[in-house]
Homo-oligomer: A and B are copies of this chain.
């Protein structure tokens, strides 16, 4: 059994990791941290996880078991502190924070408003999207797990495949449940009365997931750029919204092509993803809905074209394929397992 250490296991992502790892035949959590819950057993904090009765929360500072794979479900600043130490000790590390997703220092610091204190590690950090970087991940000791919004946007754009260089512009309108919108329980903006029977956009043209999408959706080509950037590459816009639900992200992606939309795009993408265990291309964009992907590691896609336009709708569970599920998928690859292990059923 692979011993697992989870730092920041007291949060939503940590709970999701624990939930899925219950079913993993080859891995088992042996060390978890939460400064807030230190000393408590898992069921004291998460009553719905009774099988972890013998597992107690430690403090971040405590040493994790040798040879364990370390998941960092910690805030950005904490990951910047922990990652170097754990790598130094020879742990395999999967960071679920945003700290190592953007390979451009200025861009990171601009969008995260945080100084990057461990940028020398950046070239060791493999971006943990198996559908794009599978081989690199298999040999990686350090994986930066993608953000939830980027996962739902990068995958459909990546699997345009050869057609990617015909893209003139991409406009993404994304909608997330509260568990994906980064709201802490104590935050008044996420009170029942501020969210229920309401809807709004946030961080318009400012969201930190934007450069992550712009860079990783164009691997091997000039990356997408923001409208303010004076570099080559097509413009990509991203606007997030807060849905009055708990989990799931649906993204409506409008692609403008330089000429007519490829006539065989549906077949082209179907072929491109045919080997991917967690991607499903449905036969119409209206069939893509959050109910189909909630509590699964799947990404559902549907598209329709007209003239020079294609609209792709994608849906994921932000806590699974958008966080914990993808992290386990990465661990599977890093440890030489079938990447589906423990991920087909919650």
User: With A and B bound together, what is the CA distance between A309 and B309 in angstroms?
Assistant: 18
Residues of chain B within 8 A (CB-CB) of A194 are: 185, 192, 291
Expressed in whole angstroms, the minimum distance between the Cβ of A50 and any Cβ of chain B is 7
Q: A173-B252, A185-B191 are in contact. Are A291 and B197 (CB under 8 A)?
A: yes
User: Which listed residue, B197, B237, B248, B294, touches A48 by the CB 8 Å rule?
Assistant: B294
Pair B203/A289 contact, Cβ less than 8 Å: no
Q: A48-B296, A307-B228 are in contact. Are A202 and B286 (CB under 8 A)?
A: yes
Residues of chain B within 8 A (CB-CB) of A244 are: 192, 196, 243-245
Pair B286/A204 contact, Cβ less than 8 Å: yes
Q: A191-B192, A345-B23 are in contact. Are A288 and B197 (CB under 8 A)?
A: no
Residues of chain B within 8 A (CB-CB) of A22 are: 344-345
A129 at the interface (CB under 8 A from B): no
Pick from A199, A200, A285, A344 the residue with the most CB of B within 10 Å.
Answer: A199
Residues of A at under 8 Å CB distance from B? 22-23, 47-48, 50-51, 169, 171, 173, 175, 178-179, 183, 185-188, 190-205, 226-229, 235, 237, 239, 241, 243-248, 250, 252, 254, 256, 280, 284-286, 288-296, 298, 300, 304, 306-309, 311, 313, 344-346
